[in-house]
Amino acid sequence: MKMNRLLFVLCFCASLLVANSVAQQESARLSANLALTPPMGWNSWNKFGCNVSEEMIRNMADAVVKSGMRDAGYQYVNIDDCWQVSRDASGNIVVDPQHFPHGMKPVGDYIHSLGLKFGVYSDAGSKTCAGRPGGLGHEYQDAIQYAAWGVDYLKYDWCSSTTQDARASYANIRAALDAAGRPIVLSICEWGTAKPWLWGQEVGGNLWRSTGDIQDRWEGKKEWKPGDCCSYGVLAIVDQEAPLYSYAGPGHWNDPDMLEVGNGGMTDIEYRSHFSLWAILAAPLIAGNDLRDMRPEIHDILTNKEVIAVDQDPIGRQGKRVWKNGDLEVWSKQMKDGSRAVVLLNRGSAEQKINVNWEDLGYPTHFSAEVRDLWQHQDMGKFTGKFSAAVISHGVVMVAVRP
């Protein structure tokens, strides 16, 4: 009798173990094939901050379609901070009833009806960066709610995280999302403090911010308040991203923050450089401007399919800075077909000629290669050993080099 009971207990435990490992495999599968190329979409924060509403988000989703951005590859419509106001007596997150009068599900349904995907924002700590309720202690409950709303993308911030361990906190929300049974892209927004490029992939993060917030400016940085550093211009972010190239790949990307293209703080030349650099960095392309009234110049930057193709190349290599001399730089990204996407960047204040030597791209000098200008949409002809171009101040020339 005793033996029978022992056998029963053993069998019961074994079946639990098997069920558990099957469940684990299931959840590993669930989030395994997300973000195989850098995510593309739109997010409310850079332009609208806390001014989010159902109406604005619906209009923006319409604009993603009407502007041709959806056709260019933009998929996610992401509501950043400030959609949430409190928790109810059972701990459920409460959506701002004034700005989202129908709750979140209809917003997600509408976005999906346009063939787009739906993203929301929360925070691993007790409060979001705008002081709204965070996710701490509610991870599984929130994940179930997000899944029920049809959420496809979660940006998870790091404010009010006090003594929390970053790696453990993000592993926890990934486990919660997987347990909720819906494949959800996890965007780790920890600003690079605990070097998420070293552990982000392992905990199931699909992208991780590697820097503080972007600011709509070309260079430099600005303290938030005295002693509290900083938000950064495009060049400052690029310099922080440059050494991280080996950590990016399909499903797991360094995130230099969302785009500021079209928000008014830079010239169109600088916005074109910003977009080109994000593409060569294989960065997520999350537009942050008002898509409802874009100038044609801004539209043409955001929807340049040749530049987007560089960002979205399936091999998923992040480009490297392969040459630098003062204000002049050459960046190169290996593409799946063996070609290179190349950015010639002039950070200086006057036009300068920049040379690209094949050796710096990893090609022998005697190779002859076709060069195509990705902004002029023009074949430049065949070149042997090198290519050079005049690059205007704060501008880029972006080319494909195909031997």
> Which residues are annotated as catalytic?
157, 213
- Is residue 189 at the binding interface for ligand GLA, with CB under 6 A as the rule? yes
Angle value at C-alpha 266, between 260 and 219, nearest 5 degrees: 90
- Is residue 45 at the binding interface for ligand GLA, with CB under 6 A as the rule? yes
- Is residue 142 at the binding interface for ligand GLA, with CB under 6 A as the rule? no
**CB 332 to ligand GLA: min, Å:** 29
- Is residue 255 at the binding interface for ligand GLA, with CB under 6 A as the rule? no
Strands 328-334, 320-325: pairing is antiparallel
**CB 401 to ligand GLA: min, Å:** 35
- Is residue 311 at the binding interface for ligand GLA, with CB under 6 A as the rule? no
- Is residue 129 at the binding interface for ligand GLA, with CB under 6 A as the rule? yes
**CB 233 to ligand GLA: min, Å:** 15
Q: How far is CA 265 from CA 254, 273, 278, in A?
A: 24, 14, 17
Pick between residue 131 and residue 338 the one whose CB is nearest to ligand GLA.
Answer: 131
Name the packing angle between helices 166-179 and 2-30 (round to 10°): 100
**CB 160 to ligand GLA: min, Å:** 11
Number of residues that bind ligand GLA (CB under 6 A): 10
- Is residue 241 at the binding interface for ligand GLA, with CB under 6 A as the rule? no
| Secondary structure of the chain as H, E, C letters | CHHHHHHHHHHHHHHHHHHHHHHHHHHHHHCCCCCCCCCEEEECHHHHCCCCCHHHHHHHHHHHHHCCHHHHCCCEEECCCCCEEEECCCCCEEECCCCCCCCCHHHHHHHHHCCCEEEEEEECCCECCCCCECCCCCHHHHHHHHHHHCCCEEEEECCCCCCCCHHHHHHHHHHHHHHCCCCCEEEECCCCCCCHHHCCCCCCCCEEECCCCECCCCCCEECCECCECCEECHHHHHHHHHHHHHHCECCEEEECCCCCCCCCCCCHHHHHHHHHHHHHCCCCEEECCCHHHCCHHHHHHHCCHHHHHHHCCCCCCCCEEEEEECCEEEEEEECCCCCEEEEEEECCCCCEEEEEEHHHHCCCCCCEEEEEECCCCEEEEEEECEEEEEECCCCEEEEEEEC
Where does this chain touch ligand GLA (CB under 6 A) — which range of 122-130, 161-169, 327-335, 388-396? 122-130
- Is residue 190 at the binding interface for ligand GLA, with CB under 6 A as the rule? no
Token pair recorded at residue 306: 């040749």
**CB 47 to ligand GLA: min, Å:** 12
**CB 286 to ligand GLA: min, Å:** 10
Where does this chain touch ligand GLA (CB under 6 A) — which range of 126-134, 278-286, 367-375, 383-391? 126-134
Pick between residue 284 and residue 316 the one whose CB is nearest to ligand GLA.
Answer: 284
Site for ligand GLA in 381-400 (CB under 6 A): none
Pick between residue 85 and residue 392 the one whose CB is nearest to ligand GLA.
Answer: 85
- Is residue 166 at the binding interface for ligand GLA, with CB under 6 A as the rule? no
Contact letters for ligand GLA, residues 342-381 (x by CB under 6 A): ----------------------------------------
Of the residues 54, 142, 152, 213, which one makes contact with ligand GLA according to CB under 6 A: 213
d(CA 389, CA 391): 6
- Is residue 260 at the binding interface for ligand GLA, with CB under 6 A as the rule? no
**CB 121 to ligand GLA: min, Å:** 6
- Is residue 207 at the binding interface for ligand GLA, with CB under 6 A as the rule? no
Pick between residue 121 and residue 358 the one whose CB is nearest to ligand GLA.
Answer: 121
**CB 157 to ligand GLA: min, Å:** 5
- Is residue 76 at the binding interface for ligand GLA, with CB under 6 A as the rule? no
Of the residues 47, 76, 79, 81, which one makes contact with ligand GLA according to CB under 6 A: 81
φ/ψ bin of 82: left (φ > 0), alpha (ψ from -120 to 50), beta (otherwise): left
- Is residue 157 at the binding interface for ligand GLA, with CB under 6 A as the rule? yes
Q: Summarize as ranges the residues that interact with ligand GLA (CB under 6 A).
A: 45, 80-81, 121, 128-130, 157, 189, 213
